[in-house]
Amino acid sequence: MKVDIIKCDDKDLVSRILDERTKERAFSELLGYMHEPIYFHLRKMLGNHDDAADATQNTFIQFHTSLSGFKFKSKLATWIYTVATRKGIDIIRKRKAFVSIEDAEYQLKSDVYFDGNEASTKLHAAILTLPAKQRAVFILKYFEDLDYKSISEATGTSVGALKASFHHAKEKIKPLLISQV
């Protein structure tokens, strides 16, 4: 399960981050665990490197700002995914959505930092046509393999609504992938 990616105790890591003497080393350690997963999560959500890079940086800065208020009700990794996902959802909602899978596919194929085969391009293009929350749910479940409880926290949606959302996302994506064959 992806939320176990931080290989040390959450409380210990947080207290070291909050301690001025050990902050730099501890935050570097955290980035070692979470930087790439969060970046690629946002990259899948947003579809391009620049937006994902900005959102990733803002995620960790915001995480640091609000860390003293973290109450350990969830895993630290889940909380960071939550901050990142909500940032991603905000960005998607501000943008013009892709009208068609063809537009999304065209963008991916034009992207020098996207190197997927035909099937992979179709899948990621199909994901980019999903509405913001559905997209987040699908990515967190399908790629990040988070449990529904963690996804519920990350998206602010009930578990029941999540399961429905994931089901709808799958139903929407499947015909798009089949039609491209």
Partner 1 sequence: METNPHKVPQDFFENQRREILASVLKSDTSMAKKPARIYSLLRPTLAVAASLAGIFFLTLFINEITPKECKTFACLLESTDLSDLSETEEATLEEWEYELYEDIDIEQLENLIQ
Footprint on this chain of partner 1 (rule: CB under 8 A)? 20, 23-24, 27-28, 31, 35-36, 39-40, 43-44, 49, 53, 56-57, 60-61, 64-65, 113-117, 119-121, 123-124
Closest CB to partner 1 among 49 and 168?
49
Closest CB to partner 1 among 48 and 161?
48
* Nearest distance, CB of residue 161 and partner 1, angstroms: 27
Three-class DSSP category at 5: coil
CA atoms of 34 and 37, how far apart (whole Å): 5
Which of 21, 38, 69 minimizes the C-alpha distance to 139?
38
* Nearest distance, CB of residue 113 and partner 1, angstroms: 5
CA atoms of 169 and 59, how far apart (whole Å): 25
CA atoms of 51 and 137, how far apart (whole Å): 19
Closest CB to partner 1 among 28 and 158?
28
Three-class DSSP category at 9: coil
